Amino acid sequence: MRIATWNVNSVTARLPRVLAWLESSGTDVLCLQELKCSAEAFPAEQLRELGYEAVVNASGRWNGVAVVSRVGLADPVVGLPDGPAYDGAQEPRAVAATCGGVRVWSVYVPNGREVGHAHFGYKLEWLEALRKAAAPDAAGDLPFAVLGDFNVAPTDADVWDIARFDGATHVTAEERGALAALRDTGLADVLPRPLKYDHPFSYWDYRELGFPKNKGMRIDLVYGNGPFEAAVRDAYVDREERKGKGASDHAPVVVDLEP
């Protein structure tokens, strides 16, 4: 089974690329983030024509997540259980389903904006709610993974130049501590593995030739429990999909599981 996660930075703008990539990559389950559309505007029909069904959590212009599967879609959960609100609203940042015997969460963790900003506190609260929600599945016997854009680089090696992030979000001890607490539920980072590139970044800013100069970050993560990790036979970042006109600023992260 091939499972992937991809922040598409607008599923509407990226739809031709998403459809073409699903066909060419042979992906069975795709976790999407940053849909930037309403649930009604999500391209369910176009995906259905390729043999995929979807469970979607989206409400409009910003955020939005989905799980897209051609191997079944059971027991969906839309929204993060007991997740915090921001500005009085529950943002569409999490959705879960069981696909082909594998339980997955697609998550889009809040950015945090600036250290000390209310959104930074919200980010930490959101990660704690995710930890609590994931803990039962993480400790279970079913293969389980949390995939998505975490907006946190787990280590200094996961950003192109740690000095450029002094005092900024995505690399703070608080954010990394929240990731460590999530892993402590029984999850492991399935990357890095032996990869073609020394730094398997997954995000490159559109500005200042970020991608050509490889000024990237690894913030799109796959955290799997023991049964999931044991089934992993390959994991990689599809850098090719970051190339060319109309690309997202994120590349898909792909994980292959033993049958």
Instruction: Set out the domains of the chain in order of their start, with CATH numbers.
Output: 2-257 (3.60.10.10)
Average pLDDT over residues 194-210: 81
pLDDT value for 208: 87
Task: Give the residue carrying structure tokens 């590139």.
Answer: 197
Q: Kindly give, in sequence order, each residue whose CB lies less than 8 Å from that of residue 227, ignoring residues fewer than 6 positions away.
A: 141, 142, 143, 144
231 membership: H or E segment, kind and range:
helix 226-231
Please report, in angstroms and rounded to a whole number, the separation of the first and last CA atoms in the chain. 6
- pLDDT tens sequence across 56-66: 999 988 899 99
Whether the per-residue pLDDT at 193 is higher than 70: the answer is no
Whether the per-residue pLDDT at 163 is higher than 80: the answer is yes
- pLDDT tens sequence across 67-109: 999 999 999 999 999 999 999 999 999 999 999 999 999 999 9
The rounded percent of the chain whose pLDDT value lies above 90 is 94
pLDDT value for 200: 84
pLDDT value for 194: 52
Q: Is 57 left (phi over 0), alpha (psi -120 to 50) or beta?
A: beta
Query: Greatest CA span in the chain, whole angstroms?
Result: 47
Kindly report the pTM of this predicted structure: 0.96
Whether the per-residue pLDDT at 6 is higher than 60: the answer is yes
pLDDT value for 191: 86
pLDDT value for 212: 93
pLDDT value for 129: 98
Q: How far apart are CA 135 and CA 72, in angstroms?
A: 23
Mean pLDDT comparison of 25-34, 183-192, 202-211, highest-scoring range: 25-34
- pLDDT tens sequence across 206-246: 998 999 999 999 999 999 999 999 999 999 999 999 999 99
